[in-house]
Structure 1
Amino acid sequence: MEMELNKRTLKDQRDSRAWSQTQLAEVSGLSLRTIQRIEKTGIASQESAKSLASVYECSITELVSKDVSEHTKQTLSLNTMSTKAKVIHVSILTPVLLIVLYLFFTEHHLIAWVDTIRDSIFSPTISEDRLDKISFLILVVVVGLPCLIPGYLYDLISHPSD
């Protein structure tokens, strides 16, 4: 049975010990070619994974490839985004939020849906001031988050392999 190991973790483990691939092969009892293949593809047999985990003094689960949600968290991080994507975020988010916040603070009827959502989720025993703050947060999240999508799409389309 083959397993998908995290290539970055494997390389980090080896580098932290200042081992070459040849040294790792000797210590683990695996062939140099096997070490090269595993570090390149991340695919290893269960026996090879056990051997590496033993050498690195960790569990196999620590070497297993991160799941898709972890990859998504890294991909959607503002720290990893291109400057152009950040400019797209700000250029869309700023005017949209300014308009919506203006409507909110002038109590325009177009944003009555915010209070409807708030009242269906939260208890009416909460103070009016706190309910207003909740409405404000709902508005920012519901309107603001979709405005961030174009920047992520830009990075996804322009840098598909990252």
Structure 2
Amino acid sequence: MEMELNNKTLKTHRESRAWSQTQLAEVSGLSLRTIQRVEKTGIASQESAKSLAAVYECSIAELLIQKDLPVVESRFTFSKVSLKAKIIHLSVLMPVLSVALYLYWTDHSSTVWVNILRDSIFSTSISKDRLDKISFLILVLTVGLPSLIPGAIYDFVNKQSAFD
């Protein structure tokens, strides 16, 4: 598999050590022709890239061409949510979360699932305090996130969607 290396970075590394291409070939174990080709085109095999990274004492990632990733805009922004939807979110979230937290803190049997879920995901070698915090977060997320649905439905029905 061929890799696309930044030939300017390769040349800069070599010149900063005051090496000729011939010296780099000797140190890296690559042929002079390979060094010339890689510095000219930037195309190298994985083995050649590994050799160059080892000689330059850097990672292969530092030698790769840094391609600009496309900027992906989030389709959802909370600032686009209508005021009525935010009120719906809060009016559903607050009582539901309050009841769930009360039941959890009083060790009610209806919240046993939180610790079962926590124990199936996380190691029991974690401290009790940290496990309690994880349980709290699981409860808040599993109860809190679904309470956002009624407000989103309101905006969707009224064509005020935050997903535009």
TM-score (norm 1): 0.54
CA distance in 1 between partners of 2:143 and 2:70 (Å): 38
TM-score (norm 2): 0.53
Other structure's SS at 1:74 match: coil
CA distance in 1 between partners of 2:70 and 2:148 (Å): 33
> What RMSD, in angstroms, separates the aligned Cα atoms of the two structures?
2.2
- How far is the alpha carbon of 1:158 from its aligned partner? 0.3
**Which consecutive unaligned segments of at least 5 residues does structure 1 have?**
1-60
Q: Give the aligned length.
A: 95
CA distance in 2 between partners of 1:78 and 1:143 (Å): 19
- How far is the alpha carbon of 1:160 from its aligned partner? 5.8
Contact 1:74–1:80 (8 Å) recurs in 2 = no
Which residue is 2:95 aligned to? Answer: 95
In our comparison, the structure showing a higher alpha carbon Rg is 2
Other structure's SS at 1:159 match: coil
Contact 1:103–1:111 (8 Å) recurs in 2 = yes
Of the two structures, which has the highest relative contact order with CA contacts closer than 8 Å and spacing of 6 or more?
Answer: 2
* CA deviation profile, 1:77-115 (whole Å, cap 9, x unmatched): 211100000000000000000000000111111000000
Deviant stretches of 4+, over 3 Å: none
Mapping for residues 49-128 of structure 1, pairs under 5 Å: 70=73, 73-75=74-76, 77-128=77-128
Which residue is 2:152 aligned to? Answer: 152
CA distance in 2 between partners of 1:82 and 1:113 (Å): 34
Contact 1:93–1:148 (8 Å) recurs in 2 = yes
Q: Which structure carries more helix by proportion?
A: 1
